[in-house]
Amino acid sequence: MTAPDAGGPRPETPPWSAWRVVMGFGVVSLVVDLSSNGAQSIFGPLLGQLGASAFVVGVIVGLGEGIALAFRLVSGPISDRTGRYWGFTLAGYLLTAVCVPLLAVTPLVGSAGLVLASALILLERTGKAVRSPAKTVLLANAAGAVGRGRGFAVHKSLDQVGSLLGPLIVAGVIAATGLLSPAFALMVVPGALAMGLLLWIRARVPDMSIYERADDRAAEPEPVPGTVRRLPTTFYLLATSVSLSTAGLVSFGVISFHLIDAGLLNVAAVPLVYAAAMGAAALAALISGYAYDKWGARVLFALPALICCVPGLALSVQLSAVVVGTVIAGMASGIQESTVKALVADLIPSVRRGTAYGIFAAFEGGAALCGGILAGALYNRVGLLMAVVAVLQVLAATMLFITIRLRERLSAPRLN
């Protein structure tokens, strides 16, 4: 079946190789994350300059992240029902490409600057929610032809390059000009590059389902109009497992606070530790992705094992231990954002993946909120925090084991 926005019948031979499509989406993510992550690194200072209090900054940034996760519960199912994965992808990226550079004008509009900046920040995060499920479905289709572990791993590694370069470029522009506005204005360049590349990919490969194996397509029954197809039990077991892992992962926000609170680094050096974590995330995504294609979902048992190591190291009073703990946290994050998504794609038929990724994001978002509260509440009781995290990871590993065993049982051939 051709997708509604596919633009015509399915060609016999794809005009681009699947690897070329995966790399194309990776470059898009690189330049968009360069823009969005670079902007996010100075959202707080911008809002402060426009007159916001610390409380207002927290509300706006927190609300933006909530929208970026919660709205996927809406955009994912709608993209599945309409089949317009390209439409949602382009619309979401366009919001980011437009809203980030427009933040440059907010200091110029007087008292309306704070309201305008807040609205643009929330719209940029809405763009993330609009595009993420649909884009991941397109990527999963192409990655299925090269090995989903490898495909998601390469994409995530390129994504992390943008996450690393964005804040560094913004810092350089601010150091050179002494102003925030030029840094935002410069982000029109990566935004335009991303939109141009997306339109090029869509023109060449309008129907990404062409990369799916013929036997996979045949195994997916056509949806019956007016009916709701439930996601499989294995999906919810995996979502629960990853949520337990996420709840135990100490965030970089807490780690960066600790670096300053414990007098281990000055503020200017903290981004360097973050950069090390982003590099580790990219490397871990590559390794785990290739291992997933070779050995299967069992490689994900590394995730709870890594997370168990983070609290005792990252909240240590020794700088070297904190750096190691931060790098391990980055590795865990890289696996979550790449190999875990590959497994989700393997569990869910393509016609339901948008819904699945939206629900999965909601699970992770709620777990991240609980994890932030947990780490903050037990910040001065690291021993207790380590114990709680260990229990959470044992539960996560148990749920993952059940997921894998149930998947194997359901996929095993039945004897008559």
Q: Is residue 172, in this structure, part of any structural domain at all?
A: yes
With cut-offs at 50, 70 and 90, classify the pLDDT of residue 227. Answer: very low
How far apart (Å, rounded) are the C-alpha atoms in residues 381 and 383? Answer: 6
The pLDDT of residue 36 is 87
Q: Is residue 165, in this structure, part of any structural domain at all?
A: yes
Check whether 291 has a pLDDT greater than 60. yes
192 and 243 belong to one structural domain: no
- Over residues 92-106, the mean pLDDT reads 95
173 and 247 belong to one structural domain: no
184 and 47 belong to one structural domain: yes
253 and 329 belong to one structural domain: yes
Higher-confidence residue of 17 and 48: namely 17
Q: Is residue 222, in this structure, part of any structural domain at all?
A: no
Q: Compute, in degrees rounded to 10, the torsion defined by CA atoms 313, 318, 324, 330.
A: 70
> What is the count of structural domains for the chain?
2
255 and 400 belong to one structural domain: yes
What residues contact residue 94 under an 8 Å CB cut-off, 6+ apart? 127, 195
Convert the pLDDT of each residue in 319-353 to its tens digit: 999 999 999 998 998 899 889 988 998 899 878 88
The pLDDT of residue 12 is 61
CATH code assigned at 154: 1.20.1250.20
With cut-offs at 50, 70 and 90, classify the pLDDT of residue 415. Answer: low
Burial of residue 320 (CB within 10 Å: 0-12, 13-18, 19+) is exposed
Global pTM value: 0.75
Of the ranges 118-127, 160-169, 195-204, which one carries the lowest mean pLDDT score?
160-169
50 and 175 belong to one structural domain: yes
Buried b vs exposed e over 105-140: b needs ≥16 C-beta within 10 Å?
A: ebbeeeeebbebbbebbbbbbbbbbbbbbbbbbbbb
130 and 172 belong to one structural domain: yes
With cut-offs at 50, 70 and 90, classify the pLDDT of residue 260. Answer: confident
Q: Is residue 4, in this structure, part of any structural domain at all?
A: no
323 and 355 belong to one structural domain: yes
Q: Is residue 226, in this structure, part of any structural domain at all?
A: no
Instruction: Name the residue type at position 153.
Output: A
Check whether 42 has a pLDDT greater than 70. yes
34-43, 68-77, 102-111: which is most confident: 102-111
Q: Is residue 416, in this structure, part of any structural domain at all?
A: no
The pLDDT of residue 412 is 64
Higher-confidence residue of 221 and 280: namely 280
Of the ranges 15-24, 97-106, 391-400, 407-416, which one carries the lowest mean pLDDT score?
407-416
Q: Which domain holds residue 45?
A: 18-213
193 and 278 belong to one structural domain: no
- Over residues 197-220, the mean pLDDT reads 75
Mean pLDDT of the chain: 85
Q: Is residue 10, in this structure, part of any structural domain at all?
A: no
